[in-house]
Amino acid sequence: MTFPPDYYERVYAGVLGKIIGVYLGRPFEGWTHEQIMSSLGEIRYYVNDRADPSYLGTSLPLHNHLLVVTDDDISGTFTFLRALPDYGNSFTLTPAQIGQTWLNYIIENRTILWWGGLGNSTEHTAYLRLKDGIPAPRSGSMELNGQVVAEQIGSQIFIDGWGLVCPGNPALAADLARRAASVSHDGEAIYGAQVVAALVAQAFIEADIDKLLDTALALIPAESTVSQLVADLR
């Protein structure tokens, strides 16, 4: 794999962009478009600057909360990648090895994940499976955890790093994403993770959004819900 001369700078930019996106969106996570427009209007300002309920008529979810908190959006992105140096920086990593990395670095009920309980939080469920000796990918399987839990969006939000370590190689990024996502997810959630990782990897050498999408979608089944969703939005 050939790394571009500005690789480190571009990885830094990607990481910075991820952090900016997470924290700009955090105050109204889960809001509908209608709620945002009626309460906040067109957002061209920092919403925490106007988080006074008397001004908005409603309180932002994180009003008077710490802005910087532990979450899997950011923490998981970098923690799960530690499987690479821990296993010799080999791209032959297995789901079981990435799952072991979860056990090595996550502090139960304290760090990285949303600890929402078995059968409720996908990542917490997977962690408990791993802790009980069930290795990945079975730890995240639909067969074990059910479709609703296994196909949640979590795998997409902590998968970017696998694209960042595969500049210009979307196929490898998607394959690593499949293995990493399978620790906690299954089905359509795997496809979503593969698309995100492939987009990140290909963005090192391609700027055209349509070409990026074509490249990423070619790596998942055309009949998948994720593929059809992208087609609808395009």
pLDDT recorded at residue 60: 55
**Residues whose CB falls within 8 Å of the CB of residue 86, separated by 6 or more in sequence, listed in order:** 97, 101, 104
pTM: 0.89
pLDDT recorded at residue 148: 97
- Contact present, 199 and 18 (Cβ < 8 Å): no
pLDDT recorded at residue 51: 53
Q: What value, to the nearest 5°, has the Cα angle with vertex 77 and ends 91 and 10? A: 80
pLDDT recorded at residue 175: 98
Secondary element (H or E) of residue 184: none
- Average pLDDT per run of 10 along the chain, which is 234 residues long? 88 93 81 86 76 51 60 87 96 98 96 93 97 98 98 94 96 98 98 98 96 98 96 90
Query: So where are the chain's domains?
Result: 1-68, 70-233
Separation between Cα atoms, residue 208 and residue 222, nearest integer Å: 21
- What phi and psi, each to the nearest 5 degrees, are found at residue 125? -60, -45
